[in-house]
Amino acid sequence: MTQQTKLGLGFMGPAIVIVVLLFLAPVLLTGFFSFTNMSTATGISGGTYRITESVLNRLPADQVRPDVIVSLSESQFVVDEAGLEAMRAEGLDPAFIEELAERHGAEVFTSGDDLEDAMKDLDNRPRSIRVIKGAVDMFERSLRDRDFAEEAAFTAALDDAVVDLTDNERVVIVQAAYSGWTMTTSNFSRLWSTPQTGQVIINTLFYVGMTLLLFNVGFALVLAITTTFLPAGQSAFFRAIWFLPRISPSVLYVLLWKWLAWDTGFINAVLGQFGMAGRNWMLDTTANAWVFVILINGFVGASMGMIIFTSAIRAIPKPLFYAAQVDGASRWQQVRFIILPQLVWPLLFVSTYQTLSLLTSFEYILLSTEGGPGSTTEVWSLSAYQTALSNYAGNLQYGYGATMALVLVAIGVAASLLFLRLFNFKHLVSRPRIEQ
């Protein structure tokens, strides 16, 4: 390895570490979590095996026999060594214990009354009914509401509770009783079978397309071109104004828009002078909500495109403009034949970057409409966030939210490849003809 190669790797080392930790690792973890059913209910660590009422209700009737479900739901009394040892620890009559073990050892009673009657028939039974009832409780064996840390222990207790349990029934019950997360592919089928998914996709396409075309690229390009032909002082002033939304704190920026649209906001204060009733212009209708969502995000996105396009226009050699003016070219002709052809690279970068940004960002929508009214302005990234990290139901579905995030990564990669195709990336990076 040459010294130059070592030096290059030394400079690239920090960048590689950052890419691995901040990009590859989150993507890989998201991919892993997307194949799990991890949620608030399951927890993020290993769960336990527990038979509860809800577990019994979830057992499919076509795979688990009704009598098995009844056996799991009811308490049983088994004369086993553990119960006998508990009797010895309580100091009960050894003769009573030995006779019980000899006559009813390993016998299963369906109720405590049956076991109590069996104890009363013994010759060495205690005279106190209270003592007998206390002895009965020592043999109660039930899976209901008992936690088992290991599957083997739960399976053993399950076989003790239900003698003729089949292998398929055992598997179904074990899976239903496990409270932890498991690996699964059901998140993907659930995602595409949920009716809300289609609406969220439409919302996302509309939001990204309109904001990108109208503001992040379209209006940004208009600002860059128009301010180019202004005097230096005036152009700097207008660019500074349009850059303010980007450097403003998100909460303060959205709060100003809410003040504009609130029931007691600026718009209603003006329209009230003409007798119009006040209303919340941001949330009263779906159309108004989309207008404000696109405006709020568009004003921020336009500033970045404006700076990049302006820098690219300034890099165009001045003699091209001078020659065009001598030939009698109008402003529009200068824009069409000089500026726009020189902006292919900046247009590719801004379109790709802003598309990915719009696909993954949701803070302005969350702060302004929270996806409302209803869920009419809920986009994919916001839906993934609310599913995995914040929802009113209280059950955060980490695995399902990760599935939505993974799909979003795939959409972002596909969109990037599409832009490379539309802008003919191979032609942009090809060698100049003069060098061929």
Higher confidence at residue 8 or residue 193?
193
**Between 167-177 and 66-73, two packed helices, what is the crossing angle to 10 degrees?**
50
In the prediction, which pLDDT does 234 show? 86
Q: For residue 393, what pLDDT band results from cuts at 50, 70 and 90?
A: low
For residue 381, the enclosing domain spans 190-435
Do 211 and 168 share a domain, yes or no? no
Do 354 and 390 share a domain, yes or no? yes
Strand-strand pairing, 108-109 and 140-141: unpaired
Give the residue from 143, 177, 211 where a domain finishes.
177
Q: What are 128-163's pLDDT values in tens digits?
A: 888 888 888 888 777 776 788 888 888 887 887 776
Is the pLDDT at 435 greater than 60? The verdict is no
Give the CATH number for residue 291: 1.10.3720.10
Do 339 and 250 share a domain, yes or no? yes
Which residues neighbour 106 within 8 Å (Cβ) at sequence distance 6 or greater? 78, 79, 80
**142 within a domain of the structure (yes/no):** yes
Measured CA to CA, the distance from residue 68 to residue 56 in angstroms comes to 10
**47 within a domain of the structure (yes/no):** no
Do 111 and 206 share a domain, yes or no? no
User: b vs e for 261-272, b when ≥16 Cβ sit within 10 Å of the residue's Cβ?
Assistant: bbeebebbeeee
Alpha helix segments (H runs only) across 124-228: 129-137, 151-161, 167-177, 186-193, 195-211, 220-228
* Mean pLDDT, rounded, for 24-32: 89
Do 125 and 197 share a domain, yes or no? no
Do 142 and 265 share a domain, yes or no? no
Q: What are 319-361's pLDDT values in tens digits?
A: 888 888 888 888 889 888 989 988 988 998 999 999 999 999 9
Q: State the pTM of this model.
A: 0.77
Q: What are 211-246's pLDDT values in tens digits?
A: 999 999 999 999 999 888 888 888 888 888 888 888
In the prediction, which pLDDT does 414 show? 92
Do 215 and 308 share a domain, yes or no? yes
Do 249 and 391 share a domain, yes or no? yes
Is the pLDDT at 190 greater than 70? The verdict is yes
Q: For residue 198, what pLDDT band results from cuts at 50, 70 and 90?
A: very high
Number of domains the chain is built from: 2
Q: Is the peptide bond before 60 cis (omega within 30 degrees of 0)?
A: no
**12 within a domain of the structure (yes/no):** no
In the prediction, which pLDDT does 1 show? 66
Q: What are 263-312's pLDDT values in tens digits?
A: 888 888 888 888 888 888 899 899 999 999 999 999 999 999 999 999 99
Q: For residue 103, what pLDDT band results from cuts at 50, 70 and 90?
A: confident
Q: What is the mean pLDDT of the chain?
A: 86
Is the pLDDT at 83 greater than 60? The verdict is yes
68 class by beta-carbon count within 10 Å (0-12 exposed, 13-18 middle, 19+ buried): buried
**216 within a domain of the structure (yes/no):** yes
Do 79 and 195 share a domain, yes or no? no
* Mean pLDDT, rounded, for 387-411: 87
Nearest Cα to Cα of residue 30 among 40, 41, 42, 38: 38
Is the pLDDT at 429 greater than 70? The verdict is no
* Mean pLDDT, rounded, for 414-421: 89
In the prediction, which pLDDT does 381 show? 95
In the prediction, which pLDDT does 216 show? 94
